[in-house]
Amino acid sequence: MKLLSIIIPSYNEEKNIPNTTRGLAEMLNKENIEYELIYISDGSKDETYEAILEENAKDPRVKGAQFSRNFGKEASIFAGLELACGDGCIIMDCDLQHPPEVIPEMYALWQEGYEIVEGIKNSRGKESLFHKMFANTFYGIMSKLMKMDMKSSSDFKLIDRKVVDVINSLPEHNKFLRGLFSWTGFKQTAYEYERKERFAGTIS
Ligand code: UDP
Ligand code: MG
Return averaged pLDDT per consecutive 10 residues of the chain, 204 residues in all.
Answer: 97 98 97 98 98 98 97 95 98 96 97 96 68 70 64 85 95 72 91 91 74
Pocket of ligand 1 (CB under 6 A): 9-11, 13, 42, 70, 72-73, 76, 93-95, 97, 198, 203-204
CA–CA gap between residue 32 and residue 20 (Å, rounded): 18
Position 34 scores a pLDDT of 98
Give 92 Cα–ligand 2 centroid separation in angstroms: 10
Length of the chain: 204
DSSP bridge partners of 68? none
Position 54 scores a pLDDT of 98
Q: Is 165 helix (H, G, I), strand (E, B) or coil?
A: helix
Position 147 scores a pLDDT of 59
Q: Which residues contact 93 (CB under 8 A, 6 or more apart)?
A: 8, 9, 155, 156
Position 182 scores a pLDDT of 87
Whose atoms come closest to the Cα of 20: which ligand?
Answer: 1
Position 183 scores a pLDDT of 86
Evaluate whether 167 touches 81 at the Cβ level (below 8 Å): yes
Pocket test for ligand 1, best of 24, 93, 98, 178 (most atoms within 8 A of CB): 93
Exposure class string for 99-111: b at 16+ Cβ within 10 A, else e: ebebbeebbebbe
Position 171 scores a pLDDT of 81
Nearest CA to ligand 1 atom 25: 203
Q: Which residues contact 102 (CB under 8 A, 6 or more apart)?
A: 119, 191, 193
Is this prediction's pTM over 0.85? yes
Position 179 scores a pLDDT of 79
